Every structure is written in C-alpha cells, then in structure tokens.
Structure 1
C-alpha cells in the first residue's frame, strides 16, 4: 500500500475550515439586521448638531453679543474679545464628524430597497444648515472633499472658497425643495426619529426654504451674487407657491428636549453652580426690563424688593435684590471682578425655573426671523409692503413663541416703552430697530446673532474700556491648530486666498 502524505499545513487548514463551518451563522443575532436604514441616522445626527450649537451659543455667541458675561479678571474671556486658538476645535471637530451621519443617511435613502426622497431632502437640508454655520464661523472650509477619508481615502481635503460653498448650498436646498415636492405619501419620515418635526414633510420643506432665505440675505449685497438677489425676491413673490416658507410659530424648527432617556438638554448636564455663575449682560437684560418684556417677570420692574412669579419667567431669569440688572460687557481687568447680577436661573419660586431644563433651548430657526428678513428686504425696496408690518409681526411672534398665551397688542406694548416703529427715522435708525428685535428673536439660535452683527453692524453694542483686539468684534474663529500639520498644503492655500488665520480676517461675505 502506498502511503498518502498530507502536508501539515494542509491538515491545519482543513481543521480550521472545519472549525469555522457555521461560525458566522451561529454568531449572528437573527433578531437584528446588519444593514442600516436612513431613519437610523437621523435622531442622533440632529441631537449632536444641536448640542454643538448650544454649547457654542452659550460660551461664544452669548459672550460676544452681550447676552451674558462670564465675570472674572483672568485672561481668555470671550466678552473682552480675548480669544484662544484651542477654542477652534470644538465646533469644527463636532460638526465635521457628525456630517458623516447626514451623508450616510442620504446614501442609504438612494438604495433601491430604501429609496426615499424625503430622507434625501432632509439630509440635504441638514447638511446645508450645518455647513452654513461652519463656513460663517471659519470662512473657507473643506466642503466638496470633506468627510471622504473613509470611502475615498481623501485625508487632506481641499478648502473650498466660501462663495462656492454658498452657491452649492443653494443647489442643495433647491434640490431638497424639489425632492419634498415630488415625494409621494408612501415615502414617509419616521416620527420617532425626526426630533424636530415628528415626520412632517411639509414643515421640513418650509424650513429648508426659510434657511435659503436666511442665507440669500446674507450674501445679497455682494455684486457677484446679483442673480441670487433675483431668486430671493422671486421666492417671496412670483415663485412663492413653489417655495413655501414658515408662516407661523408652528413651523419653527426646534429640537424640543423631553428629558426622557437620551433626549436630555446638554445644559442639564452642567452643574447648577456653573450654570448660575454666568451673569447677564446689561445690554440684554436692561432692554428686556425697560421694554417690559413678558419673557421675564416684569412685575418687579421699578420695585426695589419683591417676590418673583413663575408665571412670566419663561427664561428663568433671576432678579438681584428685587430688580433686574446686568453687568457691563468688556469691563477692564484692572477694575476687579464685578459682583454677579441677574442670571439664567431663578429659584424664587416653589419650583426653580431655568434654561437648564427648558425644552425649547434646542432652537434651530424660528418664524420671527422670517418676518425680520421681510422687514429688512422691504426697507431696502427688495420686497413689497411696509417694513413696519413685518417688524411688528416679527416682534409679536418672537414673544408668543415663548409665551403662547400672551395676547397684548404688539404696537401698544412697544409704544409704552418708546420702542415702537419710527416712520421718521433714517435708514440706519430703522435697521437698528429691526435688528434689535431680531437679536432677541435669535436668542439661543447657534451663532446667528454674531453672524448678523458682522453682516450689518446692528444692533449697536456698547464697547467696554477693557476690550482686547483693539475693540474690534472678531470676524471669524481660528482654524484648529492641528489642521496646520495634518493638512498643511490645503491650509496654506486657504490662508493665501482668504487672508491670515486671525480673528480679524473677514470672510468673503464681509468683504467689500
């Protein structure tokens, strides 16, 4: 008999093959799927985006725009325009990382078994929303090649010019509008995954078009964007039926924190003492107090001592010694720390009222902003109608968004504190009136107060004698330091095109 010699290596391979047989089947949970569906990306992506915006609103926008003052005589105080380069990382890293969720949602909604134009549209709207915040914060950013490292191995993406980013965002929003118009009733959005509109496609369409109005207005003054000025006008007139926009507070884009399971406001994770440590700025609280604004408990106005009432204290603002008062923003370091004044936490009631647990802090965009956009366009002759009509509509809906039961006549309300529309005022006077009320409407809306101030110079902010940076409002955020070493070629190209990587370098739409 002949011996058959089987190599040891082959025996080992056969043994391993025998051991592996059925392994994959045995270790697969039959109740779970290995494939992702579009709706599985939405809820987490929305929460992440809103959280990054809320944190940046609190510690950057609010300090720059004199909503709050993080009192102290140390260095690195935003309210003194004393920036640190390492602050640049948070929003950049968070939004670019999370952008992959929106793009994956879009790709999954293109697959034959998952084909759904509604999810494609929502993805494009959310991408446009987040990219607009990134470019308006930093200027030129990675865009066309962003987040392609995983699939295309583009680890050093080019920085696109801001003008090109805006043009492509308008294309995305136009596509989203068309997709939602064509989406049949069978292509639904998951109500549980959609934390903003609970699956209402019509409201997503209004939000997308309203976002386009915001961004069109931001670049309408640029000569090279003349065709988009026409688009802006047509969206509100001849093409209005094809571009539905927000028409009431019910259309507002807000991620309402329920406090249930994972849906916890990022503010609720702060320590109470840290939340209360930041005082309100005089510019913000003095205007609310002097205009008898119902969003704070105005019963204490002109009362040296009193008791707060929770019925009219939606923002949870705490009085000090019975009165509402704020701290001068930009005060000099050498004068010593200021005594804390009113802040966003009121414990004078049986139940404390605070923005830490307020469901509506997940503000994305609201209807009042649309009315103020119309007011400015009408003032500039780009939209028919009387600007004061839109001014009053905006002011009223800014209040009733937070105080739905408030029924007072808005004209009477503003006239009682001499804040009514001034027909005899100059163009700049009227812009100031519009943007003071718009400033209040943009409360908690990511960095929009800062963006609008950089675009218009309104509202006029007082300048403390302790401001750094020669008293000049920063025009952008630095690029993250690590980008200089991880993507040096494209970083240098962006700086050469846009200007020095400094906070006073104006982004494209700020330049003449």
Structure 2
C-alpha cells in the first residue's frame, strides 16, 4: 500500500445507548467488514485505525520500537550489533502504512461529512472537531519522524472515485503541515469554547468515542494540550517563534477558554476495560518481553539517574536482575556486544517492571497526560523569566508522573513482581532536594531546562517513545553516549527516518521533489539546537 492506495474502509459499529466505554468495548467489529457508514461510525473508524500505535501492541514495540526509538533514547539497554542505527524497513513501513490507514479513514469521514446536510452537520459538530484533533496528533507524529509527507492530497482515492491517476499525492513540507495543523487546532479550540451538544447526539457521541468517552471537556483539553506540545516543539524555529510565544501565553493565561490537561484524572488515554475485545494491551508482553530479544533491559543512564536522585519511580518502573542481589544495574551502551550479552545472561541487568509494564494487559494507550503538560508549562515559564511558576510546574510534573506510574501498576492483572511500596510525600520531598533534581540547586536557566528535559525523558521512557525521541532531539538533553558502529555508514543514531521504499516505488515522481532532504542525518526543521 502507498499513500493513495490504502483500503477505503467503511465503518464501524452499531450505535449504543450506553455511555460507558466498558459497555461498548466489545462491539468494535472489523471495519473492513462493514458495508455502510455514517458520520458517527466513520468517526470511530478513525480511532480504530489509530489505536494500535497508541495502546501498547506487539508490532509497534517488537518490530519498530525495540530496534529504533527505544535504544536511541536509551530508554532501554540493548546488545550492540552491526547496522543497529539504520531504521528497519519493516518497522518504518508499519508506521507509514498505519498512518495512511488512519488518514484514509479520516478522508472517508470528510467525504461522508461533506455529503451531509448543514443542519445535521451542526448537530454532529463534535464528531468533526474531535476527528480533526485526533488526525492532527497522528500527523504531527509522522512529521516528527519524516518531516515531509503526503498529507493535503493524500488518502483521496475514494473521494476521487478510484481514479489512481489523479490520486498520487504530492509531499507537503513539514513546516507547512505544522502551520496548517496549528491554524486548525486554534479554530477548533475557539469553537469548542461555546460548543453545545444536544443530549441525544451527546449520547451517540459517548457510544462512539472510546478515547474520551464522549467528554467534550476532555476533547477540549486535548486540543489545547496538543497545541501546547506542538507550539513548544517548533518554538525555536524562526517561522514559529513569535507565534509560539503569543499562543502559549494565550493558552496558559486563559484556562477557562483554553483548558489543558491539569491532573491525572483528565489524562487523554485509551483505557482498557475488557480483554476479550480488540482494545487491550495483551501484545505488550511479546513486544518487549520476548525471551532472548532484550526489549525491556534497563539502560545504564536512566537507572543511574533514578538511583542517584532516589526516585520512587525506580521500583515501579524497573525490577532488579534475577542475580543482582536487589541492586538496580543498567546496561552500559559503551561495552562490546559480547560483554553486554554476558551481563544479560548472568542476570545482572535490571529490566522494566513486568507487572507495571509488559504483562499489564490493562496498560492504557497514552495520548497526552498531566505530567507532560506540566513540563511544557515549566519550560515556558522558565524561558519567560517566571522562575517560581516554572519550579511549581516542574515539581508538579514530577509528582504527577509518580502518581501515574503507581496508578497503572494498580491496574495490572499480573503478579510477577510484588506490589511496590507507595511513594510517600516525605520520599518525594527528599528526591526533590537531591542535586540531580533540585530546582534551587541549579545555577542557570540552561541547567534548569536540563532538569525539565531529564524529567521528560524519565516520564516518557518506553510509554511515549515517539514524544521522547522528538523532545530529546529538540533539547539535546540528556546527552547520551553511543557505541560507534564503524562497520556501517550510519555510525551513530540518526535524527530522522527516511521514506519507505514502497512509497518511493509507487509515488516516485512526487518523492523526487523531496529526495534531497530524505537523509538520516538531515535534522528536522524544528531541530535547531
């Protein structure tokens, strides 16, 4: 499949009167098997198409993340091998194909929407706003991987009545895509301030929406939190600096008009209710915990940081190696592969806590949560000279991150690892006073920005890997050392992915317009540090 040749799926689901996710989670049929669609069903089709790269799944973690983003952010430790810094074609194609599945669903949504009369459109307006917001989060993730992608004219094969000749999609520049997304998110945010949904259509929306369970408030918070993320990401690029400063200020200074995610009970996530439905995290275990594949080994840098800072997340995120006498040891990336393998085989290396992570079949799919938003706030306040507000947001983010990971541990249906002792306020205060974490001990703005970056890195870890890689490239912190692979032309981790071969083969004429930029060592436009 390519960007114009994705199956056009007409979708999903009968309507349900119940308003709880757990009541309708078992009703999501295979979208490709449904012959008729509607605005309501097509909206759910967009969400269904995207869920496998939000909820932890096997292919995302095993085929893609295990050999790309997770080791390149040192969120995991891994065994050094030749060619380890070249993105695997299968994993990259998986992400590419999935995105264009989502986009095809969205284009079909737009097709149905445009064929609907204005009165019904107004009644169902929340479906349009939420579908666009979801699509823009997915699209920004792709730009952060590839920069230039087919977007504005992509996914229109059905709209073009199956005419392939007129459906080959040109590549849009990452800068222009970001501008478009930010413009439309601003429009959505302004409209959501006063949006009212009639009760009957609110019930329908709740039945079709398995992200926010029909909550217009949470979709509003998602829109503005997503704006905050994307504005921050591009804030150092000259095309966006002024806009980012003014729009972030508008968001943070007007919480009534532009609410963001403020607490963990407002997190934007796909929750898991019934393991007998397609919405589950059962694939997480084989994605990172497959015997012999080392997808959940702990990295030395992260373990050392958590130990040094006396961070209570250490015990809920990780477990010691089987023969490490209770000591947390991370895998050193600068050792040879044979030295690393000996440590792993000897049971010395810590791993991600299986009960919290890989064997937790109820682990939710995180889109944006409170800790991320707090760290974004901290960065803004710091750069605008409000040290007290920056410190408060930074420390709030740490507390929210701790709370989140102990919460997801409590959801687990696995008992491989004993339940960790809850984090106490005294323990958190002690951690905040350690030199590695203390805001007051930092001597400069750059040191305080590094504190924020370290906390983002710990918080994102393997759970928000795409955001982790983007923020680490943008901030260049933490500074990581990597074994140099002199057997390959790509001796160190790249700074972007390159366009998959399938797209180049079938959409070659349009690809040639961006070919010169499509190199692993070409920084993305927002990566200006």
TM-score normalised according to structure 2 size:
0.78
Give the superposition deviation at 1:197: 1.4
Between the aligned partners of 2:193 and 2:471, the Cα distance in structure 1 is 31
Give the superposition deviation at 1:271: 8.8
Structure 1 residues 381, 282: closer, same or farther in 2, change over 3 A?
same
Give the superposition deviation at 1:441: 2.0
Structure 1 residues 358, 285: closer, same or farther in 2, change over 3 A?
farther
Aligned to 1:144: 152
Deviation per CA, 1:339-359, whole angstroms, max 9, x where unpaired?
21222354xxxxx55423242
**1:8-23 equivalence runs, <5 A:** none
Aligned to 1:193: 208
**1:82-161 equivalence runs, <5 A:** 82-109=86-113, 111-112=116-117, 113=120, 115-152=123-160, 153=163, 154-161=166-173
Aligned to 1:317: 319
Aligned to 1:301: none
Structure 1 residues 423, 469: closer, same or farther in 2, change over 3 A?
farther
Residues 1:211 and 2:226 are matched in the alignment? yes
**1:19-418 equivalence runs, <5 A:** 35-52=36-53, 54=56, 55=60, 56-71=64-79, 74-77=81-84, 81-109=85-113, 111-112=116-117, 113=120, 115-152=123-160, 153=163, 154-186=166-198, 187-188=201-202, 190-258=205-273, 259-265=275-281, 266-268=283-285, 270=287, 273-274=290-291, 277-278=294-295, 279-297=297-315, 313=316, 315=317, 317-321=319-323, 322-329=326-333, 331-333=335-337, 337-340=341-344, 341-346=349-354, 354-381=357-384, 385-403=388-406, 406-409=423-426, 410-416=428-434, 418=436
Contact 2:288 2:358 (8 Å CA) reproduced: no
Between the aligned partners of 2:238 and 2:370, the Cα distance in structure 1 is 28
Structure 1 residues 59, 235: closer, same or farther in 2, change over 3 A?
farther
Paired residue secondary structure (2:153)? coil
Query: Which segment drifts farther, 240-249 or 387-396?
Result: 240-249
Query: Which segment drifts farther, 480-489 or 224-233?
Result: 224-233
Give the superposition deviation at 1:106: 4.5
Give the superposition deviation at 1:445: 1.3
Deviation per CA, 1:249-280, whole angstroms, max 9, x where unpaired?
11111112332322221315659534873311
Contact 1:217 1:232 (8 Å CA) reproduced: no
Between the aligned partners of 1:210 and 1:385, the Cα distance in structure 2 is 22
Between the aligned partners of 1:275 and 1:250, the Cα distance in structure 2 is 37
Between the aligned partners of 2:238 and 2:303, the Cα distance in structure 1 is 38
Structure 1 residues 482, 271: closer, same or farther in 2, change over 3 A?
closer
Contact 1:142 1:159 (8 Å CA) reproduced: yes
Deviation per CA, 1:439-486, whole angstroms, max 9, x where unpaired?
122231141111011111012223335586675441110100122221
Structure 1 residues 318, 133: closer, same or farther in 2, change over 3 A?
same
Give the superposition deviation at 1:69: 2.7
Give the superposition deviation at 1:384: 7.7
Deviation per CA, 1:329-388, whole angstroms, max 9, x where unpaired?
254447573421222354xxxxx5542324234111111111111111122117685321
Contact 1:137 1:476 (8 Å CA) reproduced: yes
Contact 2:107 2:156 (8 Å CA) reproduced: no
Q: Superposition RMSD on alpha carbons, in Å?
A: 2.9
Number of aligned residue pairs: give it.
Answer: 453
Give the superposition deviation at 1:430: 1.3
Between the aligned partners of 1:330 and 1:205, the Cα distance in structure 2 is 45
Deviation per CA, 1:127-177, whole angstroms, max 9, x where unpaired?
110000001100111111111122223432111111110010012212322
Structure 1 residues 339, 372: closer, same or farther in 2, change over 3 A?
same
Structure 1 residues 59, 264: closer, same or farther in 2, change over 3 A?
farther
Give the superposition deviation at 1:101: 1.9
Paired residue secondary structure (2:71)? helix
Deviation per CA, 1:180-227, whole angstroms, max 9, x where unpaired?
334323142533432221111101110111001110011111122244
Give the superposition deviation at 1:488: 1.4
Contact 1:478 1:502 (8 Å CA) reproduced: yes
Give the superposition deviation at 1:413: 2.7
Give the superposition deviation at 1:123: 0.6
Uncovered stretches (5+) of structure 1, i.e. residues with no partner: 1-31, 298-312, 347-351
Structure 1 residues 232, 473: closer, same or farther in 2, change over 3 A?
farther
Between the aligned partners of 1:184 and 1:214, the Cα distance in structure 2 is 26
